[in-house]
Amino acid sequence: MTRDEIIRMARECDIIDFRDESDDPHVKQMVDFLESFANLIERKILQNCKIKAPTRTMDQEFAAYHRRGFLAGTAAEREECAKVCEGMKWQAASDVTAMAEQYAARECAEAIRARGK
């Protein structure tokens, strides 16, 4: 529960007056007490329900899924590029040149795949 939620609820229950200033030391102290109390209640509820508090926020979860998707996509893209290199049809003037070009294509494909390791 956020501090703002606690202040809003405290005002709804007339624990603090809506006219009280947030920077008043007495109001700050009361809100600190209420925040501690709310945290104790929240822990007790979670403990009784045998529910673990979330360890990661939704933003963190989204970032993790996004990262996994990005990595999978880049790996697939690298593999496709390597296949293009391997599939090149060379029109060389001689067998020696053709062998050199095929070797270069294989080296290129291996270099592309190695970038992901």
pLDDT at 114 over 70: yes
Residues in CB range of 17: below 8 A, 6 or more apart: 11
Residues 63 and 100 in one domain: yes
pLDDT above 70: percentage of residues in the chain: 85
- Number of structural domains in the chain: 2
The letter for the amino acid at 66 is H
- The parent domain of residue 89 ranges over 58-114
Check whether residue 42 and residue 79 sit in a common domain.
no
Q: pTM score, two decimals? A: 0.41
Instruction: Specify the pLDDT at position 54.
Output: 62
22 confidence band (pLDDT: 50, 70, 90): low
Are both 34 and 81 inside the same structural domain? no
Instruction: Please tell me the predicted confidence (pLDDT) of residue 9.
Output: 82
The pLDDT mean for the chain works out to 79
* Domain match, 11 and 31 both: yes
Residues 71 and 42 grouped into a single domain = no
Of the candidates 93, 90, 112, the residue with the CA atom closest to the CA atom of residue 101: 90
Q: What is the pLDDT of residues 46-101, one digit of tens each?
A: 777 765 556 677 788 888 888 888 888 888 888 888 888 878 766 665 677 777 88
If asked whether residues 70 and 106 sit together in one domain, one would say: yes
* Together in a domain, 62 and 110: yes
The per-residue pLDDT for 30 is: 81
Residue 45 and residue 55: Cα distance in Å, rounded?
Answer: 17
Cβ 116 vs Cβ 75: under 8 Å: yes
Check whether residue 66 and residue 106 sit in a common domain. Answer: yes
11 and 17 in contact (C-beta within 8 Å)? yes
Please compute Rg for the chain using Cα positions. Answer: 31
pLDDT band at 34 (very low <50, low <70, confident <90, very high): confident
